[in-house]
Structures are given as C-alpha cells and as structure tokens.
C-alpha cells in the first residue's frame, strides 16, 4: 500500500488537491509534501530515530505532544501580501509582509483577521520578560482576534468559508484528559516546548504568539490548527469590540473569579490591578452580585474607570509607607478580605529589595502582591492568581498561607469552557467593550506597543483593525458608532481605524 494513502493526515484529501510529489525523509520512509499555494499542504510527523534505530524517551514525548498537531510554523505564499506584527527582540516589533499562511493539516482553517488586540501578556513577551524559549525572534505576536474564515481543511466540520468567528488564544486538542474536563489551558498535546515542559514537569497548552511556536493573531491572516475546537462562530448582532474579549481577557476574568469561588454570597472581593482583566473582573463581580468590590492600582485614570464600573478603589502609592495598603484594606474589612484576585502578575516589584533581587536574577517573579494578598485575606479565604507568573519568587509567606487556612489557586484561562456562556452574557446586555481606550490601524502596532509600555495617553486596552475591518459588517453592530471616548490616534498620529 502506498504510504501516502495510509497516512491519516492525507485521508479525505481528494487526489486533485494533492498535486505534488512525495519526498522521502531520510531512512524513515515517512513523507512530507512540497508546499503548493493552490492546494492542501500536509506535513506528517517525522519519525526521527537515533543511530540504534530506537526512539528515545524525549522523542516519544515529542511524538505524544505532536499527536494532534504536527506542524507549528506554517508555510506561506508570498503571492498574496499579508502583514503581521513580528517579534524582533526585547522592546522591538516590526510590521512585516509575510504572505498568507497555508493550510498545513486537515483540521486547519485560515482566518482573515478583522480586529485583534494587544494583551498584557504580549507586553511580557515584548519586554523579553518571559522565560527563554517561549517567544523567539521572528514569531508573530498576539492571541486575541476576530475574523472571517477564508478556507478550511477536509477535517473541519463545524466551520465554512465566510463564517465570522472569534479565535481562542489557548489552543486545545479536544481529546486529551484535560480538554475533556474543560481544563483547556492544561492540554497535553499542543505545546512541544521542551524547556516549558522541563520547568513545569508536564506540558501545558500552546497559545498563539506565545507558547508552542504558533504564529500569533496580530496579523491580516492566521492559520488556526484544530479549528473545530479553537474557533467560535459569532452572531451578526455581536460586534468585534464586544466579541474580542472572548479570545482571552473576558474568559480570564471569569476564570479568576471562579477559581476564587466568587458568587452572590461573596461579601468582599479585592482585585489587584485595574488593567483590562481587572476591570472586566469588576464588571463580572458586579453582575454576580458581590456585596463589596475594591480595585487596587496606582494609576488614577484606571481607578477612575474601576469606580465607573462599580468598585471602591485604593491607590497604593497614596497609602502610607510600609503596611499602608494592608492598613487601608483592614480599615475597610476588619476581618480581612474574603476573596483576593491577582490580575497583575510577576513583573512589577514595588520595593527596592525585590527590584534588586530581580535585577540580579535571584528571583524571576516579584512576590509582593501575593504577600499583600496573604496578609489581607480573611482566615479560610481564597486567593486566585491569573496575573502571569513564570518562575520563582523569594520571601513568600507560606506559613501564613497554611496557618490561616487560605486556598490558593492559579492557572491560565480555560477559554473554550467559558466562551459560550460569556457570549450569551454579551447577548443579554453585558458590554465588555467599555474597557477599550484606543482603536488603531494594524499599521500603528509598533507605536501602540511603545505607548502601552510607557503608559502614555491613559491607555488601558488597544484594538488593532486590519484592512479587512468593516464597521458596517463587523464592528459596532449594535450602536453604529465607536464607544464614547475611544481614541483613534497615538500622540496626534492619525490612523485609518474608526
């Protein structure tokens, strides 16, 4: 039997769509195919072997991790221009014409992006704060996007050309133990990164533009592996602005609240960070009926937005030195805060001690927010970490955590578990688009990254529009105009987005 016919990655592909000569790879008799921009492209797993002909344990692990996705960086055709935001090194991105990505596997879809966003995690990558091997030079950044399906592979059954979709930032396989339980960011079969696996003992899911080597979504076109699991069809009545947070940040905020066991019986909730996720957590907590919510930050313009959304606020820079924030919280909640949510992460040390330790690589992550939460948390309370943490931290008060009986949970978002419920919430009147401050053209991406790093122009959340964005068909569907106050310039630079 011809090996091409028996390999599962070619099943269901009509002969006239496989117009290429098979190429034998070394001595293994596995085949790959020459890229063909006009037809389906497949690249089966290469069965690498050592000199003895035996597969090593690492190679076995690689094969397991690649069981559901066999190709990571897509082939592209330069015949049709397609721009993307490419990571060039610390504090450097560039808008590059890469050409349209090609279908590489039967479960792939190619999506024409209309709107995308810049996330705080993208900023960690931009500033080279992620561990090595996670984001390499040349990778397209971004993991939040809305778009239109352009083409699908033969194994995609739930989507067709022309469908308007939101793309999950987390890439799930759909049939590992964790995906079946809805814990999609713990997927075992989409992330081949060896260094991450060694650091964490077990692999976690890939993420567009971050983990696993998949090109991201700050682009005019994107290849979506396992599209049936990683796309969600959108109704015409939900705009790009409303739907984009489904990719990540709205589901992340909800995930954090669920990890903290927040519900209508929750009397007090403290949220560290009034960025996009923290502000959405305020909105969701109000929707869930939490009695008192306090938002903690040191940017007054962000705290003003938190108050507008229904939270009490504390500016930690304006609290007294030393234990000022703790004293302020205990004045508000004498028995401690019932639930604590970290929407900030590792990158913002406050004290000289931890600034020095990070500078000398004595720790990778600042633990100061966690220390504040443990001290402020009520006995028997719950702490949820959804801000990014990547390595190790010193001086963590593990004794207080244990003695006070505090529950601590963390983890990346389970997008596909929550996004249908969050979409229904949006359709019922919940509006996550109130957090946006800037709507810019994709060509302004380089300046947008610089603006976010400097915190210029009261920036909170930036939308990027591609040339395929049509406000009459995919944006502001419910109102017909941009949200009040949204900006379309960077320090006076006009952009084409509306």
Give the range among 38-42, 143-147, 338-342 with minimum mean pLDDT.
Answer: 38-42
Distance of CA 462 to the CA centre of its chain: 14
Among the three residues 410, 428, 461, which one is the final residue of a domain in this structure? Answer: 410
For residue 321, name the pLDDT band (cuts at 50, 70, 90). Answer: low
- Residue 355 belongs to a domain with what CATH number? 3.40.50.720
Pairwise CA distance, residues 343 & 281, whole Å:
9
Whether residue 13 has pLDDT greater than 80: no
Whether residue 65 has pLDDT greater than 90: no
- Do residues 342 and 490 both lie within one domain? no
Number of structural domains in the chain? 3
For residue 5, name the pLDDT band (cuts at 50, 70, 90). Answer: very low
Mean pLDDT is highest, among 63-72, 150-159, 384-393, for: 150-159
Whether residue 45 has pLDDT greater than 60: no
Q: What mean pLDDT comes out for the span 189-198?
A: 72
Assigned token pair, 274: 């009034």
The share of the chain scoring above pLDDT 90, in percent, equals 60
pLDDT of residue 487: 82
**Residue 148 forms beta bridges with which residues?**
112, 164
pLDDT of residue 170: 97
Q: Is residue 62 part of a domain?
A: no
Buried-state track 355-371, b at ≥16 Cβ within 10 A, e below 16: eebbeeeebbbbbbbbb
Give the range among 299-313, 386-400, 401-415 with minimum mean pLDDT.
Answer: 386-400
Q: What mean pLDDT comes out for the span 294-312?
A: 96
For residue 473, name the pLDDT band (cuts at 50, 70, 90). Answer: low
pLDDT of residue 59: 47
pLDDT of residue 493: 61
- Residue 149 belongs to a domain with what CATH number? 3.90.180.10
Helix (H) or strand (E) holding 491: none
pLDDT tens for residues 218-238? 999 999 999 999 999 999 999
Pairwise CA distance, residues 391 & 193, whole Å:
16
- Do residues 297 and 357 both lie within one domain? yes
pLDDT tens for residues 74-130? 778 777 889 999 999 999 999 999 999 988 888 999 999 999 999 998 998 898 876
- Do residues 80 and 102 both lie within one domain? yes
Q: Is residue 257 part of a domain?
A: yes
- Do residues 21 and 41 both lie within one domain? yes
- Higher-pLDDT residue of 188 and 450 is 450
Q: Is residue 70 part of a domain?
A: no
Q: Is residue 60 part of a domain?
A: no
For residue 29, name the pLDDT band (cuts at 50, 70, 90). Answer: very low
10 Å Cβ neighbour count for 116?
Answer: 34
Residue whose C-alpha is closest to residue 88's, from 142, 144, 140, 123: 140
DSSP-based three-state secondary structure for 449: helix
Give the burial class of 251: count Cβ atoms within 10 A of its Cβ; 0-12 exposed, 13-18 middle, 19 or more buried.
buried
Q: What mean pLDDT comes out for the span 372-379?
A: 97
Q: Is residue 227 part of a domain?
A: yes
Whether residue 44 has pLDDT greater than 60: no
- Higher-pLDDT residue of 298 and 357 is 298
Give the range among 16-30, 176-190, 398-412, 456-470 with minimum mean pLDDT.
Answer: 16-30
Give the range among 131-145, 165-179, 257-271, 369-383 with minimum mean pLDDT.
Answer: 131-145
Residue whose C-alpha is closest to residue 214's, from 141, 126, 146: 141
- Do residues 151 and 174 both lie within one domain? yes
Pairwise CA distance, residues 138 & 88, whole Å:
6
pLDDT tens for residues 46-62? 222 233 334 345 544 55
Q: Is residue 470 part of a domain?
A: yes
**Cβ-based neighbours of 204, under 8 Å, separated by 6 or more:** 185, 186, 187, 191, 196, 211, 412
Distance of CA 13 to the CA centre of its chain: 32
Cα-Cα-Cα-Cα dihedral sign, residues 65, 67, 68, 72? positive
Pairwise CA distance, residues 319 & 314, whole Å:
8
pLDDT of residue 414: 97
Pairwise CA distance, residues 45 & 71, whole Å:
8
- Do residues 354 and 343 both lie within one domain? yes
Q: Is residue 68 part of a domain?
A: no
Give the range among 129-138, 158-167, 401-410 with minimum mean pLDDT.
Answer: 129-138
- Do residues 394 and 470 both lie within one domain? no
Q: Is residue 194 part of a domain?
A: yes
Cα-Cα-Cα-Cα dihedral sign, residues 96, 99, 104, 107? positive
- Do residues 242 and 260 both lie within one domain? no
- Higher-pLDDT residue of 259 and 323 is 259
- Do residues 106 and 34 both lie within one domain? no
- Do residues 123 and 178 both lie within one domain? yes
Q: What mean pLDDT comes out for the span 370-394?
A: 92
- Do residues 148 and 232 both lie within one domain? yes
For residue 408, name the pLDDT band (cuts at 50, 70, 90). Answer: very high
Which range of residues forms the domain containing residue 32?
3-55
10 Å Cβ neighbour count for 497?
Answer: 23
pLDDT of residue 290: 98
pLDDT of residue 366: 86
Q: What mean pLDDT comes out for the span 237-254?
A: 96
- Higher-pLDDT residue of 27 and 235 is 235
Among the three residues 410, 431, 465, which one is the final residue of a domain in this structure? Answer: 410
- Do residues 227 and 271 both lie within one domain? no
pLDDT of residue 196: 66
DSSP 293: E
Among the three residues 368, 391, 410, which one is the final residue of a domain in this structure? Answer: 410
- Higher-pLDDT residue of 307 and 103 is 307
pLDDT of residue 358: 82
Q: What mean pLDDT comes out for the span 166-193?
A: 92
């Amino acid at each position: 039997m011809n090996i091409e016919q028996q390999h599962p990655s070619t099943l269901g592909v009509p002969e006239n769509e496989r117009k290429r000569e098979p190429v034998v790879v070394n001595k293994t008799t596995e085949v790959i195919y020459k890229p063909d921009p006009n037809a389906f492209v497949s690249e089966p797993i290469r069965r690498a072997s050592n000199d003895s002909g035996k597969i090593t344990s690492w190679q076995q692990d690689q094969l397991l991790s690649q069981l559901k996705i066999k190709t990571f960086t897509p082939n592209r055709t330069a015949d049709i221009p397609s721009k993307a935001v490419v990571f060039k090194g610390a504090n450097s991105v560039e808008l590059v014409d890469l050409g349209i990505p090609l279908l590489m596997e039967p479960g792939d879809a190619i999506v024409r992006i209309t709107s995308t966003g810049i996330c705080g995690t993208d900023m960690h990558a931009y500033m080279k704060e992620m561990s090595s091997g996670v984001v390499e030079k040349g990778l397209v950044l971004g993991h939040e996007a809305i778009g239109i399906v352009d083409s699908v592979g033969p194994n995609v059954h739930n989507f067709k050309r022309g469908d308007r979709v939101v793309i999950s930032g987390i890439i799930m396989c759909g049939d590992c133990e964790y995906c079946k339980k809805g814990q999609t960011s713990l997927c075992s079969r989409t992330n081949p990164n060896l260094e991450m696996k060694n650091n964490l003992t077990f692999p976690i899911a890939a993420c567009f533009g971050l983990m696993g080597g998949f090109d991201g979504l700050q682009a005019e076109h994107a290849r979506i592996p396992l599209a049936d699991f990683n796309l969600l069809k959108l109704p015409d009545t939900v705009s790009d602005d409303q739907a984009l947070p489904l990719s990540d940040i709205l589901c992340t905020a909800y995930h954090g609240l669920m990890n903290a066991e927040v519900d209508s019986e929750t009397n007090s909730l403290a949220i560290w960070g009034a960025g996009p996720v923290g502000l959405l957590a305020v909105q969701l907590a109000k929707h869930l009926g939490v009695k008192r919510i306090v938002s903690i930050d040191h940017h007054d313009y962000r705290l003003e937005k938190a108050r507008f959304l229904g939270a009490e606020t504390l500016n930690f820079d304006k609290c007294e030195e030393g234990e000022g924030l703790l004293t302020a919280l205990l004045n508000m909640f004498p028995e401690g805060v019932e639930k604590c949510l970290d929407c900030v992460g590792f990158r913002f040390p406050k004290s000289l001690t931890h600034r020095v330790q990070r500078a000398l690589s004595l720790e990778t992550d600042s633990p100061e927010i966690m220390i504040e939460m443990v001290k402020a948390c009520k006995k028997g309370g719950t702490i949820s970490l959804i801000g990014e943490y990547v390595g190790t931290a010193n001086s963590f008060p593990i004794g207080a955590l244990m003695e006070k009986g505090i529950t601590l949970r963390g983890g990346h978002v389970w997008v596909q578990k929550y996004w249908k419920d969050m979409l229904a919430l949006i359709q019922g009147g919940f509006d996550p688009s109130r957090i946006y401050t800037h709507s810019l053209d994709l060509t302004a991406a380089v300046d947008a990254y610089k603006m976010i790093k400097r915190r210029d122009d009261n920036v909170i959340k930036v939308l990027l529009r591609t040339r395929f964005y049509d406000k009459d068909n995919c944006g502001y569907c419910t109102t017909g105009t941009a949200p009040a106050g949204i900006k379309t310039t960077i320090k006076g630079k006009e952009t084409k987005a509306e």
